[in-house]
Structure 1
Amino acid sequence: MELKLEMGGVFLIDEKKLWNENEAILKSLQDDILVTNTDGIILRVTEATEGIYNLKENEMVGRSVYELEKEGVFTPILTPMVIKEKKKITIVQTTNDGKKLLVTGIPVYDSENQLVRIVSYSHDITELLNMQKYLTDMEDEMERVKSELEMLRNLHFYTEGMIASGDEMKKVLQLSLQVAEIDVNVLLLGESGVGKSHIAKFIHNKGPRRDGPFIEVNCGAIPESLFEAEFFGYESGSFTGASNKGKVGLAELAEGGTLFLDEIGELSLANQVKILKFIQEKQFYRVGGTKVRTVDFRILAATNKDLEKAIEEKTFRQDLFFRLNVVPITIPPLRRRATDIIPLVEYFLKYFSEKYSRERALDEGIIHLLLTNEWKGNVRELINLIERLVVTSSKQLIEIENLPERYRKTYHEVSTIEDGNRSLDEILDSVEKQVLLKARKRHKTTTKMAKALGISQPSVFRKLRKYGIE
C-alpha cells in the first residue's frame, strides 16, 4: 500500500492500480529500444530488444554496451559516438548471428542541458540489404547481357562447320577438337584472313563453355588510350566523356564463356602488362572503380605476327607470350589448301545466294581462275569475292566479265584450259595438273610440294605419276 497526500488529505492507494504513463508507452512500442547512461550502462530495453539480440531483459539491463561488444553481441556500439558528437547518429550494426540493424542513437539532456541518457532504436534491415545486393547484382548482370547482345548483333559468324579436305587443315581441326574440351590457353597463328576467328569460334562451340558468351576483342582496332576503358569498363564519371551510367567492359562480358583476343600482337607494352595480370588473376577493377570484379572465362588469342621475333625486338612481352602460347595452332594459308577451294566456293556461293535471294552459278572459267589464284587475302578474300559476285551480277550465270578488274588480268593464264566440250572432272584434272606444274617449278622436292599444297607427300607422288610430271 502507498500513502498519498492530495488536497490536504492522505489517501491510501492500491499498488495494483498504480499506473506509470512512461512505462506503458515504452512497453507498447514494438520497436527495439535501448536506453543507456553516459557510461554505457544499459538502463532499459523493450521486449523487442530481446528478440533482436537473443538476450533476456535481465541479461542486458545493468551491463555495459562496451562489454557486450567485446562478447560479440553487437558491433559497432553507438553510445560513444553520440557522446562524442552530441547529436543524433545512425549506423549499421551487426549482431552475433549476422543480422544487420539500422540503429539510430539520440542524446537526452536534463534541465541543465547536461547529457544524461542515450536512447537508441533499431530496425532489422538484413533482408533489405540482401535485396539491395541482389538488385545490384541483377543490374550488373542485365547490363552485361544487354552489352553482350549489342555486341553479338554486330558480329557475324559461320557456324555450320569447318571445311577441310587437305591433310594440313584436317590436322588443324583435329587439334582444335582435342583442346576444345580443356580450358587450356590456345594461340592461333596464321596470315591475315586464314580464318583464325572462325577456328576460335569452332573451339568455343565444341567445348564445355559452348552455352556461354563468345566475346571477341580486336586488340588492333581499339585505340591505346581507350583500351583499358573498353576492355575493363568504367564507372560513372570516371573520366571526361564517360557515360553517366558507366559501362560494362568486354572482359566482364566473357563471364562463363570464352574471351578471344584477336590481333594480340598489336597491343602496346603498357596494355600487355594489364592483360597479363588479368589473365593470371582473373580479377580487375573498372576504370574509376574500387570494387574488385572476378570473371570466369577461357582465353583464346590470335595473331598474324611472329611473336618470337617481336620478343627479340622488345615489342612483345615474353611472359605474356608464354602465358598465351600453351597450345599453338598454325592455320595454313589458302594457297596451301588447294583441295579446299572448290568446297569453300560451293558453300559460300550457296550461302550468299540464299542470303540475298539471288540464285547464282559460276562459269567454268571462273572456277579455273579461283583454283589458280594466289589468294593473298586467304579465305576472307575468297568470301568477299563470292559475295561481291552474287550481289553485283545481273544474270544467273556469273561469268568472267563480272569479275573485278584485277582478277580479269590474270585470267589469260588459265583461259587455255576452258573447253565447253569437256566434263567438269576433265577440266578439274587440267587445273590440278597446272597447279602441280607450278608447285613443281617452285619447290624442288615432293616434301616441299606437299607442304605448300596442304596434302601428303605420297599424294603428291601419286598425282605427279598420274599426269606424267617429272
Structure 2
Amino acid sequence: MDKNIHPSEVELDAILKASNDNIVITDGDGQVLKASPNCEEIYGCSRSYLIGKSVFELEKEKVFTPSVSLRVLKEKKEVQIMQKTLTGRVVMATGIPVFDVNKKIIRIISFSHNLTEIQKLREDYEQLQTKMKQYEFKIKELQEKQFGNENIIINSKKMQKTWDLVHRVANSDATVLLLGESGVGKTVFAHALHDMSDRKNESFVEVNCGAIPQNLFESEMFGYEAGAFTGANKKGKKGMIELANNGTLFLDEIGELSLDIQVKLLQVLQSKKVTRIGGNGMKQVNFRLVAATNQNLENLVMEKKFRQDLYYRLNVVPIAIPSLRERKEDIYKLVHHYVLKFNEKYQSHKVLHSATIDALLKYDWPGNVRELENLIERLVITSDTDTIYPNSLPFYETNDDNQYTNWTELERFDSQHLTLQEALQKVEKSWLERAYRQYKSTYEMAKYLGLSQPTVVRRLKKYHIH
C-alpha cells in the first residue's frame, strides 16, 4: 500500500467497489472526484471519463439528465429525482450535501438505483390500461346504441325514439325535464343521462321533492352553517346542491315543491351560487340539472301552484317517457329480463306459461314498469311450481268462457306422471276425504257431493276411507 494514501481513502475506494449502487462524489463546485466502477454500465462512459468532469458538462452531454448534484447545489438540501441516462436507462438518483462548519457545501454524494425495468413495466401497464379503457368505452358505446341502459328495455318504436333523444342530449349541459306517469322509469333515464355525460365520474345526487318534509327541505337542499338552528350539526352541513357540484342534480317529483322553495331554487339556477341557511357567503356551484314529474306543470302554472319562470327554466329539453300500455311490444322483453334477474336472485328456475304472458300483454299496467317488476318478483317467490300459470296473476279473472282451469293442480298431476283416469281418481278421493271430515253421516255427504247414498258408501270402501 502507498504510504501517502490516507486509510480513509482506501476505505472509501473499497466501499465504492463493493456497492451495488451507482455512487458519484463531487466537490462543492460540482466537479466529479470519485465514482463507483458500475457507473459505466448505467451512464455509458468510464469512471476515468467521469472523474475530473463538471456535472454541468455531463448534464449537457446527457450522461445524466437532470443532474441531481446541480439540484443539491441550488436547493442546498437532500434531493431525490428520476434521471435518464446516456444509455437510455431510468434511475432514481438521491443527492446528499455535506457541509463544513461554516454551512458551506464541500461535497455532494449521489447514488442511484436502476429503475429501467420497473419503468418499462409501468409504461406497459399504463398503455394496457389505456387500451382497456378504450375497448370498454367502445363496447359500452355499442351497447348503449343497441340496447341502451341495462334497465331500459327497448323494442318499441316509441321507446327507441325517446332513447335516441336521451342519447343526443346526454353530453350537453342542457336542463332536461323528464315527463311520464309514475313507474315509467324516470329515475333510470336520469341515471342514463348522467352515465353518458362528461360528468359520469362525478356525483349523481337524487332528491325526491315529495318525500322530504317541507320544514326540512330547505336545510337538506341548501345546507346550513354551524349553529344555524336548534338541533343543527355543530359543524354545519352541505346541502344536496353543493353535493352535486360538478355532477348531476336530479330533482324527482319537482311539482311537489312549495312556492317559496321554488323561488330559492330559481335563484340558484340563475346565479349558479348557493347560500347555506345561517350563512352570508355564496358558494359557486356547477351542476347539470335533471328534473322529473308525473304532473302537468303547465296546468300547475295556470293554477298558480308552480312558478312560470321556473317552469321555463326547467322545460329546456322536455322528454316524455311513454307508459307501458303505449309500448306493449316491450313487455315480453321486460318479462324475460325480470324473470332472469329474480331467478338469479332467489336461485330458482321459474318460467312463465305462454297463457300467463298473454294475460300480461292484455293488462293495462296502471303502475307501469315498476308494477311489472314487482309482480314478476312476487310470482318468482310465491309460485309453488316451476311453471307460473295465469291463475297466479292478481288481475286474472276466471269465468265460464275461460279456456284455463286450475293450472297449478294440472302441473302437479303432470309432474307425477299420472294418466287422466289416475288423476280423476285422485280428485275424487280428495273430495270424499273432505266430505268425510265435514259431515257426520253418509246421507249428508251424498247431499254435499251430489251423489246417491249407496254410491258414497261404495266409493268410501273403494278408497279405504274410514
Q: TM-score per shorter chain, which class?
A: 0.5 to 0.7
| Aligned pair partner of 1:328 in 298, 312, 318 | 318
Deviation readout 1:366-395 (Å, 9 max, x if unpaired)? 211110101001111111111111222233
| Aligned pair partner of 1:177 in 167, 171, 175 | 167
The residue number in structure 1 matching 2:367 is 377
Q: Distance in 2 between matches of 1:328 and 1:378?
A: 20
Is 1:214 the equivalent of 2:174? no
The residue number in structure 2 matching 1:408 is 396
Is 1:342 the equivalent of 2:359? no
Q: Which amino acid aligns with 1:378?
A: N
Residue 300 of structure 1 and its aligned partner are, at CA, apart by 0.6
| SS of corresponding position for 1:188 | strand
The residue number in structure 2 matching 1:395 is 385
Q: Which amino acid aligns with 1:348?
A: Y
- Structure 2 CA distance for partners of 1:299 and 1:401, relative to 1, 3 Å: same
| SS of corresponding position for 2:163 | helix
Deviation readout 1:158-206 (Å, 9 max, x if unpaired)? 9525211111111100000000011101111111111111111111111
Q: Distance in 2 between matches of 1:354 and 1:346?
A: 12
Residue 401 of structure 1 and its aligned partner are, at CA, apart by 4.2
Q: Which amino acid aligns with 1:362?
A: L
Residue 414 of structure 1 and its aligned partner are, at CA, apart by 9.8
Percent of aligned pairs sharing the same letter: 51
**Which structure 2 residues correspond to residues 22-421 of structure 1 after superposition, within 5 A?**
159-404=149-394, 407-409=395-397, 415-416=402-403
- Structure 2 CA distance for partners of 1:242 and 1:414, relative to 1, 3 Å: farther
| SS of corresponding position for 2:153 | coil
Alignment RMSD, CA only?
Answer: 2.2
Q: Which amino acid aligns with 1:246?
A: G
- Give the number of aligned pairs: 259
The residue number in structure 2 matching 1:140 is none
Q: Distance in 1 between matches of 2:191 and 2:336?
A: 22
- Structure 2 CA distance for partners of 1:333 and 1:296, relative to 1, 3 Å: same
| SS of corresponding position for 2:194 | helix
- Structure 2 CA distance for partners of 1:413 and 1:343, relative to 1, 3 Å: farther
Residue 233 of structure 1 and its aligned partner are, at CA, apart by 1.5
- Structure 2 CA distance for partners of 1:349 and 1:320, relative to 1, 3 Å: same
Q: Distance in 2 between matches of 1:251 and 1:414?
A: 58
Q: Distance in 2 between matches of 1:271 and 1:396?
A: 52
Deviation readout 1:99-146 (Å, 9 max, x if unpaired)? xxxxxxxxxxxxxxxxxxxxxxxxxxxxxxxxxxxxxxxxxxxxxxxx
Q: Distance in 2 between matches of 1:378 and 1:163?
A: 13
Q: Distance in 1 between matches of 2:149 and 2:343?
A: 17
Structure-2-length-normalised TM-score: 0.53
Q: Distance in 1 between matches of 2:186 and 2:159?
A: 12
CA contact (8 A) 2:359 2:390 kept: no
CA contact (8 A) 2:339 2:377 kept: yes
| SS of corresponding position for 1:181 | coil
Q: Which amino acid aligns with 2:316?
A: V
CA contact (8 A) 2:207 2:251 kept: yes
| SS of corresponding position for 1:408 | coil
CA contact (8 A) 1:219 1:266 kept: yes
Q: Distance in 2 between matches of 1:414 and 1:185?
A: 53
Q: Distance in 2 between matches of 1:202 and 1:190?
A: 16
Q: Which segment drifts farther, 283-292 or 265-274?
A: 283-292
Q: Distance in 1 between matches of 2:251 and 2:401?
A: 40
Q: Which amino acid aligns with 2:239?
A: G
Deviation readout 1:300-338 (Å, 9 max, x if unpaired)? 111111111111111010100100101111111100111
Q: Distance in 2 between matches of 1:159 and 1:374?
A: 24
Residue 360 of structure 1 and its aligned partner are, at CA, apart by 1.8
CA contact (8 A) 2:225 2:235 kept: yes
Deviation readout 1:34-87 (Å, 9 max, x if unpaired)? xxxxxxxxxxxxxxxxxxxxxxxxxxxxxxxxxxxxxxxxxxxxxxxxxxxxxx
Residue 247 of structure 1 and its aligned partner are, at CA, apart by 2.2
Deviation readout 1:325-355 (Å, 9 max, x if unpaired)? 0111111110011100000111111112212
Q: Distance in 2 between matches of 1:162 and 1:403?
A: 24
- Structure 2 CA distance for partners of 1:236 and 1:326, relative to 1, 3 Å: same
Q: Distance in 1 between matches of 2:203 and 2:404?
A: 48
Structure-1-length-normalised TM-score: 0.52
Q: Which amino acid aligns with 1:243?
A: N
Deviation readout 1:19-46 (Å, 9 max, x if unpaired)? xxxxxxxxxxxxxxxxxxxxxxxxxxxx
CA contact (8 A) 1:283 1:293 kept: yes
Q: Which amino acid aligns with 1:199?
A: F
Residue 261 of structure 1 and its aligned partner are, at CA, apart by 0.8
| SS of corresponding position for 2:182 | coil
Q: Which amino acid aligns with 2:373?
A: I
| SS of corresponding position for 2:235 | coil
Q: Distance in 2 between matches of 1:243 and 1:359?
A: 50
CA contact (8 A) 1:368 1:414 kept: no
| SS of corresponding position for 2:369 | helix
CA contact (8 A) 1:187 1:327 kept: yes
